[in-house]
Amino acid sequence: MANAPATVPSTSDVVIRLEDVSLFYGSFRAVRDISYPFRTHAITAIIGPSGCGKSTLLRSINRMNDLVPSARATGRMMFHGEDLYGDGVDPVEVRRRIGMVFQKANPFPKSIYDNVAFGPRVNGFKGNLDDLVEQSLRRASLWDDVKESSSSRAWPCRAASSNACASPAPSPPSPRSSSWTSPARRSIPAPRCSSRN
C-alpha cells in the first residue's frame, strides 16, 4: 500500500490513521510498514492481488485479528485520534464502531438461531429472543425455509441461508466506519498492495 498522499489531510479530516503498521501471523509478516490517513466521508479502495494483506489490514483495524491466536500488530492505528490498540480499549466496542461487510457470508460455526441471536445477545437484548430471531428471519425471507425446525435451536446453518446467519436483520448500533473485504488468504506471501483515495 502506498504511503500517505502528497497533501496530508488535517487531523479533523481523518477518521482512521495508520502509522507504520505491520501485521504478523506468527513469524510471517503479512503487511509491512503501512502509513495512511483514511479521510472522513471519503471512499478508499485497497487494491491488490489475492493474499497480499488487504483483508488482514481491514480485520486488524476493527480488531477481528485479536481472535486469531498467532496474529499481532505493530505500529499505531488511530480512530478519531484514539489508539485502537491502546491500554483499556475494548475490542468489542471497536467492532461496534468499525464494522466490516464481507463479500461472502461468514457465519459463526453455530446454528442459524445462534447466529441471528448473537448480535442482540452481545448488545444486552432484554426482550423475547425467540420472537426477535423469527422476525429477523422473516425480514430476510428465510423463515419459511427454517420454520419447520423452529422447535429446536439446533437449526443447521446451510450455505443457502448463510447470508442471514452472518447478517441478521436487527443489528447493533450503526458503526461509524465500515470496511468491505473479500475473504482473507493468509498463507500466500504476496507483493505489497497499492491504494488510491
3-state secondary structure of 167: coil
What's the Cα-to-Cα distance from 87 to each of 76, 77, 91, 108, rounded to whole Å? 12, 13, 11, 28
Quote the pLDDT of residue 194: 38
Residue 113 — very low, low, confident or very high, per pLDDT cuts 50/70/90? confident
Quote the pLDDT of residue 103: 74
Domain spans, the chain? 11-105+176-196, 112-166
Q: May I ask the CATH architecture of the domain 11-105+176-196?
A: 3-Layer(aba) Sandwich (3.40)
Say how far apart CA 78 and CA 37 lie, in whole Å: 9
Segment 47-78, tens digit of pLDDT = 999 999 999 999 999 999 998 999 999 999 99
User: What does residue 187 show for φ and ψ, rounded to 5 degrees?
Assistant: -85, -10
Which three three-digit cell numbers place residue 185? 488468504
